[in-house]
Amino acid sequence: MPDFMVFVLILLALAAAGFAVWGIMRHRYVESLRAKGWEFITSPSIQIAFGLNVPPFGVGFDRKVDDQWLGKAKDGIPFSAFKYSSTEWRSYGYAVAMPLPRSLPPGAVSRGTIGDLPNLGEPITAGEFTASAPDQGYAGILMDAIAPHLRGPYRVTVDHACIVLVDAPREADPLEDAVEQLAAIRASLLNSTAAQLTWPDAPAQLSFYERPEWVYLPQANEYLGNVNYTGGGFDHEAHDVILAHNGGLPFVRLRHTWKTRHTRTDAEGRTRTDIRHHEETLCEFRTTFPFQDLSVNWGLFGRSQTFEWEDFNRRFTVRTDDPRFGSAVIHQRQMEYLMSSDAPKFQIASGVIRVGDGGRWLPADIDWASQFLHGFFGRVPNFVWQELGAWPRPIAEVEAGS
């Protein structure tokens, strides 16, 4: 047998032995937690994270869950412990969630430093503890209720109708201890003045922190039909999809991936086929009202329209098939807005709105484009909306001077 084949067989044998050892250790680990009376779900659905929207949830893309445990603390309160990861957070341990009677304002208390998770407001500190919330008074209430019961280097968050302990250990006894810490923290929280407060219900699906109206889908290929994506190739998929009604200007954001096959022949007549991977990030807005086609600094074709402000004409090229409509929409105050807002190029065509030159379309990018578009449509005069048959006006008016 050739030496190469012997080497391959040795590698395969070592891999098989390693996999067998891993399997034995995995089995023993699972049994050690089942001995606590807990139920194990090896491949849970991402739906177990629905309603959790305070970091580490509600931020980043490529969100995944794994290895869920279901059980009860000694006081009978149910819990769910699971592994969670995203582009913004990855931990060796578990997130442990327990239900609250109703939704409470967001807040966090940490002992030590827990990764790169953000504060939820101006933080307050007490020794090795840090508390943060949108309101500092509320952060102080959380500090008093949570810190005395938090023994490990964990972060505890109030996340709508759940209280969550982040980065709990994987081993059976330390994980059980973290569960009991969270149960004590929950009881203390519900005995504090925080329990008298109210907050809107959690988003029904995955969402983004401070943007509860957005819906996040890790993968949803059906939304490719909602954007102008690159055709050709095969295995077209839509990842990291974000949807929102967005105050009358709904948008779809997604990361499109696909493959192409390339065949080439070398000088000796041998043929080789390569598979290449591609991706693009797209975000398109839609109108929910009638509006004529119009573009600003978009493309090179079509008749452009000039205005009486030469500085504006030098910076912006406006194209529309109806000069009267263009003059009505791009009036003096609208031109001042475009000049002062560092307006991106944009196109409104057949109800589809495209903005800018692409990029990663992170939440902050979407926020900026959305704010710009609301400012643009908010400066369209009332008589234009009336002539379009879109009355009362679909986008709130921006008052003069704003």
Q: Which domain holds residue 59?
A: 28-196
Confidence of residue 260 (pLDDT cuts 50, 70, 90): very high
Greatest Cα-to-Cα distance within the chain, rounded to the nearest angstrom = 87
Q: Tell me if 205 is assigned to some domain.
A: no
In the numeric block, the tokens 């922190």 are attached to 209
Number of domains in the chain: 2
Q: Tell me if 35 is assigned to some domain.
A: yes
For residues 147 and 289, state if they share a domain: no
For residues 129 and 236, state if they share a domain: no
Out of 129, 163, 196, a domain closes at 196
For residues 188 and 223, state if they share a domain: no
Q: What is the mean pLDDT of residues 267-283?
A: 90
For residues 234 and 330, state if they share a domain: yes
For residues 168 and 239, state if they share a domain: no
For the chain, what percent of residues have pLDDT higher than 90? 82
Give the other-Cβ count within 10 Å of 188's Cβ. Answer: 17
pLDDT tens digits, one per residue of 312-347: 999 999 999 999 999 999 999 999 999 999 899 999
For residues 247 and 192, state if they share a domain: no
The pLDDT assigned to 303 comes to 83
pLDDT tens digits, one per residue of 172-226: 999 999 999 999 999 999 999 999 999 999 999 999 999 999 999 999 999 999 9
For residues 168 and 229, state if they share a domain: no
Range 319-326, long-range pairs (CB < 8 A, 24+ positions): 319/294, 319/295, 320/292, 320/293, 320/294, 320/295, 321/292, 321/293, 322/292, 325/292, 325/294, 325/384, 326/294
For residues 137 and 248, state if they share a domain: no
For residues 283 and 322, state if they share a domain: yes
Q: Tell me if 276 is assigned to some domain.
A: yes
For residues 328 and 181, state if they share a domain: no
Q: Tell me if 209 is assigned to some domain.
A: no
Q: Tell me if 134 is assigned to some domain.
A: yes
